[in-house]
Each structure stands twice: as C-alpha cells, then as structure tokens.
Structure 1
C-alpha cells in the first residue's frame, strides 16, 4: 500500500484560477519505487513537434497512457495511448479521490537532465474542453515550475516541484494562465512528470 498524505494542501492564491499543491502527496520511499518502475518500464518516445511552423525534437521524452484509445494532439503532434499500467492506475485512483474528476489520459514526461524543458503554454487543446482540470505528479529531481497570468504580469509564481508532490491546476488555470518548466543552469538528474487530464 502506498503512503499517501493528501490532506497537506497549499493554495497558491493566484487570482482568476485555482492552483492546489500537495508537497508530500506520497512518501519518499514510495516515490522512489514509482520513479524507478516508470523510468525502466515506460516505452519513452522522442517525437517532433511544430513550433512557429518549424519542426523540432521535443526537449524531453514522452509517453501517453489512457483508455478507449482516444488520441491527444498538441503542437502538430498526435499521440495514441498505451494501456494503463498498475503504478499509474493507482496514482490516478488516489488523485481522483481528492479532486472529484475522472481522468481518461495521462501524458508522461521524462526530463533527462537540466537541458530538458517545456516552454510557456496552457493545456487548452480543444479535446480537453474549455476549462480543464490538470493533475501533475512529480517524481525524481526537483525542478522549478513557473506560472504567469495572460494579461497581468503581477500574477505569477515560481514553485519548486519536489519528489512525490502533486499540483492540481483547476478552474481557470488553463484559461487565464500559462506555465513552463524552464531549463536549469545547474546540473539536474532525471525527473518524471505525470499530467493527468480528461479527454471529452
């Protein structure tokens, strides 16, 4: 049984949206085990995406898991889901208990080192609906995560996403804000990020 601490919640208190952070959602020991299993067992892909009309390799590895075979598209890339595995299914079930959401899909991201990143974006693809809820689990190396408001530069946040933490981006988060995981200037070990979402 995984050790879970779902009641340790921090509200980021950003206007126009709800962001909830659970810094110790799972214990270090359990997070260590999950990280190693996912690192070794996930069929990681290194795909091309289209940015400003130019095709580039994503600066990270990815894999899509989900049910009903529903594809997910972003930046000119369409991914087709692999079947859920036991580690991801357990996390899905536990996250759903605290956010009242039925997730159909998870995008797994492997940031191999400090050079891997994810630029400014919102998870606002049409198949997610107008105001989606995104649940983001972090495993492995701590990395800086940045959030900024679309129109008001004063509304922003830098968050250190730690091993075993959960960030819930809820109502308004993908409408009014963008987020990114920037490159780091200091050496970083690998980090796995699981972003659970619902495809309509």
Structure 2
C-alpha cells in the first residue's frame, strides 16, 4: 500500500493528459525508447500520419510498436487511485472516470460540447512524399464517403470484427472498446499501413437507408 501511495504522489495532473488531444488519457500506451505516454487512438493515428517517430519528441518507434503499442498498465492503475479536478466544474474525480464525468457535466458541455476531440497533427516533411503517393486514393475515398451519407446527413458504420451494423462513429468506438478491446486480429503484413487503414475504413462504412 505504501509503495502504491508513493507511486501515486510522484505524478502530477499533467501526467494523465495526452499530449496529442490534450484530454485525459484513454487506454494509455507508452513508447519503449522515450517512455512517452499517449491515448492508444491518438498514438495509432499519429503513426499513420508521421510514420516512425514519437509524436512528442520525434524519437524512434519500432515497427511492432506502430502496429501494437504497449499499454501503460501501471499508469492505468494509478489513474484508478488518483483524483483530479474537472476543468470546468472543479469537482474532484478519479482520472479513469474523468471522461465519463465530462458527458454529464453541464459546464463542460456548455464549454466544449460532446467530448470527441479529433487531434490536429503536424505532418513532418519526411512523410510528405509518402502522403503524396496516396493523395489520389484518399481523394477518391473522401468522395465516396460524402456520397454515402444518410438522408439525415449522418453516416453509419458496421463493426469490421463482428459485422454488427448501424453504429454512429462514437458508438462504434464504444462498441469496439467494450467488446473487442482484447481481441487479436490477424494482420496481412504484405499490405502497407495506409492500405490496411483504407481497407478497414471501407469495410466499416455502411449506408443508412
């Protein structure tokens, strides 16, 4: 117990916020070389954008990490014991419950709306040449996405793992976190990362008629 208390007191509130999306960490993962911590989703998105570098310090990231980053389980455990203040109502909340609190905090909703932060990434010059090669296919996918929207203007998706359908973007994310978080999915290593990403997007998209 004393060791856990000592570990908890060595952290500050900033340690529980993702440097990419600036939100409380969700499914935190840690890089092996530089030990920086990010939300798993933010890290994987950054890897698709910037390739082989840590999103924070530009340190090297292995190919294995880019596909399957190591979860920061020690930090997750600390987040279950360490409380912080809501940025809007100042209520003390355990960090692992903070995102859930935001959904019901009226002051947070008034200030930020629904918490669905989309990170803004700065693409390095090293990755510009790679992104140019995929520019045409990305443009085609964007046009298809815009055409395949429901009459209400909101697209729906199906889960690429279990084929359950009619999810909104947020509900699909919640569904995968609840039902497939620890599911091991085979990866075709013959395909590059961009192709795998585009394939997953195409498989998950479904028109809501």
TM-score by length of 2: 0.24
Structure of greater relative contact order (alpha carbons < 8 Å, 6+ residues apart): 1
Structure exhibiting the larger radius of gyration computed from Cα positions = 2
Compare the two structures and name the one with the higher strand fraction.
Answer: 1
Compare the two structures and name the one with the higher helix fraction.
Answer: 2
TM-score by length of 1: 0.25
